[in-house]
Amino acid sequence: MDATGNTATTTPRLGRYTIDTAKSSISFKSRHLFGLLPVRGTFAIRGGTVEVAEPISGSRVHAEVDAASFRTNHAPRDAAVRSVAFLDTDRHPLITFAADHVATTTVSGTLTACGLSRPADLSIVRSEVLADAFTVRATTRVDRTAFGVTAARGMAGRHLDLTLEIRCVRV
């Protein structure tokens, strides 16, 4: 029970949810200039769904990220990262994540970027469950070279530490 006497739940109700893109975000941290300077930025979530099942391990997640939404508030860098040398957003406009295993502390699945798919694990660091919605905060580290993004070695950081704040609303 919580402080108000209500029974707290840690698992969302069974069923289909959509990602509320207006209340969801993806932020990242990296380093550049030979690891000396921090870089922070964001990606926009285009949409997605979550199917909550019983048992929870049978749940499914699908999310789409707009690759061209890469923003660090440094226009020349942002344009370079969206170019063919890095994300090649004209040819690969979407970054997708599809989960095939959900647990209470991790979501495991496949991340696809730049036309390449790799396993990815999200670590759930916080969740809030309401009657018809839930919010999850999760983190992961992505090695850009695993997705063929190898330009500017040394100048651009190899890893992006992602923090996802995802709000899902029951359909």
pLDDT in tens, 94-142: 999 999 899 989 999 999 999 999 999 999 999 999 999 999 999 999 9
Dihedral sign for Cα 137, 78, 120, 110, please: positive
Domains defined for the chain, CATH in brackets: 15-170 (2.40.128.110)
pTM score over 0.75? yes
8 A C-beta contact, residue 66 and residue 54: no
pLDDT at 5: 41
- Give the lowest-confidence range in 24-28, 31-35, 51-55: 31-35
Beta strands at 37-52 and 133-143: parallel, antiparallel or unpaired: unpaired
